[in-house]
Structure 1
Amino acid sequence: MKILFVGDIFGSAGRKIVAEHIGHLRETHSVDLTIMNAENAAGGFGVTPAIAEDLFDLGADVLTTGNHVWDKRELIDYLNGVAADGHERGRRVLRPANMQTGLPGYGVYEGVTESGLPYAVINLMGKVFMGGTNDPFSAVNDLLKKITAKVIFLDFHGEATSEKVAMGWHLDGRVTAVVGTHTHIPTADERILHYGTAYQTDVGMSGPYDSVIGVEKEMVLNRFLTGMPGKFEAAKGNPKLCAALITCDAETGRASAIQRIMLGE
C-alpha cells in the first residue's frame, strides 16, 4: 500500500504547485491514500470550505490541520457538514484530536481506499511551545484503543523536534507512520523505526520557499529588526511541493519504506 502525504500547503503558491504535481505523483507511484495538511492553504492562515473542496477534487482523501484550524470561521460548520454533491467531505477535514473537549470537528478519520483497504488518519498537535492542547501522548493511547484499521497514519503538528521524535518512538510498531508538520522546514531524517513505523520530523511546506516559512521576507525581517508588529502576507516566490511517500503492508500496517519528495516549477 502506498501513502502520499503532502506537507503544509501555504497560500495560493502552495495550492498552485500542488495542483501542478499531485496528479503525476499519484499516478507515477500508484498511490492508494492521499493526505494533505491544509491548515495554511487560505492565504497562509486557515482553510476555507471552498479550498478544502478544491483539494478533495485534486485527489486528497483526508485533510489535516493544526493550530490555524479556526482562522477561517466558515470552516466550523463545514467540519460536520455535507458537501453540495452529497459527500460528507467536511468529516474528512481533521482538527487536532487533543484540543479541548467539545470543540467542533474530529481528530480521527477511518475510511477505506478505492481498492478496499481500510485505514485511519490521526491529527494531533504538540504541547511544547504550543497552546490549547491536552497531552498528545495519552490522547493517542486512548485513540488507538478504538481504531480497528491496521494502517494508521499520524500527522503530528508540533514545534519541538524533541517532542516529535519522542512521539515516533512512543508509537513505533503501533502505527504505520508518524510525520511532523508545522515548522515548514523539511528535515532529512526520514527512516523506518525498529518496529516498522515510518518517521520524519517535519515533511516541510508546500509553498513559497523565497520567504520566511511562507511569509514575505521583508515583513518578517522588519519585525525582527524593529520589534514592531505588522501584518503578514503570504509570499509567492519559488514554490515547492514537499511530501513523504510511505510504503506499507496493508495487512499488518508495518511500513517498509519512506521517501522524501521535493518538487518545484
Structure 2
Amino acid sequence: MKVLFIGDVVGNIGVKMINEYLPTLKKDLKPQITIVNGENSTSFGRGINKKVYKQIMSAGADVITLGNHAWNNEEIFSFIDDTKNLIRPLNFPGNKVPGNGYTTVNINGKKMAVINLQGRIFMDPLDDPFQRIDKLLNEIENDVDMIFVDFHAETTSEKQAMAMYLDGRISALVGTHTHVQTNDYRIFPKGTAFLTDVGMCGPYDGVLGMKYKNIIRRFKTQMPTRFEVEEDGGGIISGCVIDINNDGKATHINTIMINPDRPYQN
C-alpha cells in the first residue's frame, strides 16, 4: 500500500498548488490512497468551506484532515456530518462534536483507518490525545489492516512521543501544523513510519503562508498585528509518500518538496 500525504493547504495559492501538482504526483507515484490536510485552505487561511473541500477532492484527495482551525469557518457545520472523507481531530471534548475523528477506507480488499489527532502543548486544551487514541485503537485495530495518523501538534516532542508510544500499533504517524517540513523521517523498530512535520502547501514567499511584513512587524513591536495570507509570488507543496505492507507495517517513507527553488522532477 502506498500512501501520499500532503501537508496543510494554506489559502488560494495552496489550493492552486493542489490543483496543479496533485494529479501529476498521483500519476507518477501511483498511491493507493491520498490524504490532504485542509485546515487552512480558505482564502483567509483559516478553516475549510464546501467549495474548497470539493476542489481538493476533485484534484485527487481521498481523505481531508483538519486541525485547530477546524471550526473557523462556520460553513463547515452545514456539511461535515454529510461526508465520511472530511475528518476533524478525534480529541475535541464533549459527546456532540460535529463530524468524526477518523474514517475507514477500503482499498483493494484492505481497510485503512485514517485518524486525525491534535496535540495539547501550546495549543487549545483538548482531551488527552494519548488516552483518546488508546480508546479508539482498542475499538478498531482488529477490524482494520492499516492505520494512518495525522497528528496536528505544535511541539516536536509531543509528536515524537506519540509516535514512539504507538509504534507497532499504527502504520504511520505524520505531524502537521507547524508548516515547515522536517528532515527526520524514519521507520520505528516495530514498523511505524514517522515524520515530525510534513510541511505546508501554500505561499512560498511568506512566513508560514502569511505576509512576511506583518509577521516581522509583530516580532519587532509585539503589538497586535493582523495576519493575512500571502496572495502573490510562488507556491510550495510539501508532502510525503509511505509504503506499507499488508501486515500494516511501514517499509519506506520519503518526503516531497516542490517550490520555485526545487522544481518538480518525476
TM-score of the aligned structures, taking structure 1 as reference length:
0.94
Residue of structure 1 in register with 2:117 after alignment: 124
Q: Distance in 2 between matches of 1:188 and 1:141?
A: 28
What is the letter of the counterpart of residue 58 of structure 1?
Answer: A
CA contact (8 A) 1:128 1:158 kept: yes
Residue of structure 2 in register with 1:110 after alignment: 104
What is the letter of the counterpart of residue 154 of structure 1?
Answer: V
RMSD over aligned Cα atoms: 1.1
Identity %: 41
The one-character-per-residue Cα deviations of 1:83-127 (angstroms, maximum 9, x if unpaired) are xxxxxxx221111000112211110101213x3331110000001
CA contact (8 A) 1:156 1:180 kept: yes
Residue of structure 2 in register with 1:150 after alignment: 145
SS of the residue aligned with 1:140?
Answer: helix
Q: Distance in 2 between matches of 1:240 and 1:116?
A: 34
Residue of structure 2 in register with 1:60 after alignment: 61
CA contact (8 A) 1:17 1:264 kept: no
Q: Distance in 1 between matches of 2:109 and 2:211?
A: 43
SS of the residue aligned with 1:206?
Answer: strand
> How far off its partner does 1:264 sit?
2.4
Residue of structure 2 in register with 1:260 after alignment: 255
Matches within 5 A, 1:28-39: 28-39=28-39
- 1:98 to 2:91 alignment: yes
Residue of structure 2 in register with 1:191 after alignment: 186
What is the letter of the counterpart of residue 123 of structure 2?
Answer: M
CA contact (8 A) 2:13 2:202 kept: yes
The one-character-per-residue Cα deviations of 1:182-238 (angstroms, maximum 9, x if unpaired) are 000100000111111000000001111221111000111111212221322111433
Residue of structure 1 in register with 2:170 after alignment: 175
Residue of structure 2 in register with 1:46 after alignment: 47
Q: Distance in 2 between matches of 1:30 and 1:75?
A: 30
What is the letter of the counterpart of residue 169 of structure 2?
Answer: R
TM-score of the aligned structures, taking structure 2 as reference length:
0.93
CA contact (8 A) 2:91 2:128 kept: yes
Q: Distance in 2 between matches of 1:91 and 1:48?
A: 15
SS of the residue aligned with 2:74?
Answer: coil
The one-character-per-residue Cα deviations of 1:235-258 (angstroms, maximum 9, x if unpaired) are 143311100100011x21100000
SS of the residue aligned with 2:139?
Answer: coil
What is the letter of the counterpart of residue 93 of structure 1?
Answer: L
Residue of structure 2 in register with 1:239 after alignment: 235
CA contact (8 A) 1:190 1:201 kept: yes
Q: Which moved more, 1:18-27 or 1:172-181?
A: 18-27
Q: Which moved more, 1:228-237 or 1:72-81?
A: 228-237
> How far off its partner does 1:27 sit?
1.4
- 1:222 to 2:238 alignment: no
SS of the residue aligned with 1:74?
Answer: helix
Q: Distance in 1 between matches of 2:192 and 2:175?
A: 13
Q: Distance in 2 between matches of 1:12 and 1:187?
A: 24
Q: Which moved more, 1:184-193 or 1:144-153?
A: 144-153
CA contact (8 A) 1:36 1:60 kept: yes
CA contact (8 A) 1:39 1:45 kept: yes
> How far off its partner does 1:263 sit?
1.2
